[in-house]
Chain A
Amino acid sequence: MERILEQAPRFFSSKNLWLLLEAAGMTLGMTVVGCLIGFALAFVLVFLRQTPDLWALPLRVVCIIYVEVFRRIPFIVVVYLVLFFIQAVNPNASLFTIAVIAICLYAVAFTADIIRGGIESVPITQTEAAAAMNLSRLQSMLWIVLPQAWPVIVPPAIAFAVAFIKDTALVSQVGVFELTFRGKELNNQGYSGILVFGSIAMCYFILSFPLSLLGQHLEKRLGTPRGQRRKSKIRLS
């Protein structure tokens, strides 16, 4: 305890705070970039998977296996596989890129099911009405299905991304300068583990907690039917 009090002024120096802020930016940045790319890829994957044509059949099998397998492999194992695979292909790839690829691969597997659930929540009759007007499958998806599927997709997708902020702590192992990595560094410099990891935990908390509240808020708001939503807005103004 005395040690913590003695170290605290030095630990909370502007240099260290700046370092932690930068590291928090890194943590948030790779989560956001990885999840966004993963989300986009998952959408493409689901779209292709639902293609009725025969050529898409092997693709469907691949998609199912991909989703099923990735949910059963620890993130840290995926990180190591991506690290060494990418380094074998391109030794100059940055660690940030490697982390983003690993996050992205993982996010695809987890969000694909969320997106599929959202799309399947839109009645098939909507798609039929669109098809009868000669909308292509893509047009029908973009103009009719997705706008109606968002309320089902967005809350769990945000919940996944927010939860994943914490899981990205594992990429510290391969040397990305994010929060956990900086925490270990500071600990190695002789700062108290309680002080360092308590502070790092607070950093994650500050990132994660407001976003998870936002997710819950969106879930409630998007859950209300459109008519009622507009009415409640009017009442507020």
Chain B
Amino acid sequence: MMVPLLQESVTTGVELQQYVILSSILFSIGVYGVLARRNAVLILMSVELMLNAVSINMVAFAVYTAPTLFVGIIFAIFIITIAAAEVGLALGIVLRVFRNRGTANVDEIDSLKW
């Protein structure tokens, strides 16, 4: 017979705010990276940081405030899935651009600029 695992509440020394603040710091770092860097692969890495920040936020809120639904955890799983798809596709595009233009710097790829 399988014993059903029960959800249990645990008191921790860390509050929800601390996770949210950590997540917002990480997100801001990612924003800085996306805006300041000019190499396409580095921009992608900064986007990964931002996605992770959002995941932390979602999971923290799910665990602390919505224990029976935990939609945030499901969301985090989907974020990771879509991030994997996004990285594969975006790196394919970066590779193709590099082969055609000889650079992976986004400010040198300006053929659509008028």
Q: Is the pairing of A and B real?
A: no
Q: Which residues of B contact A (CB under 8 A)?
A: none
Q: Which residues of A contact B (CB under 8 A)?
A: none
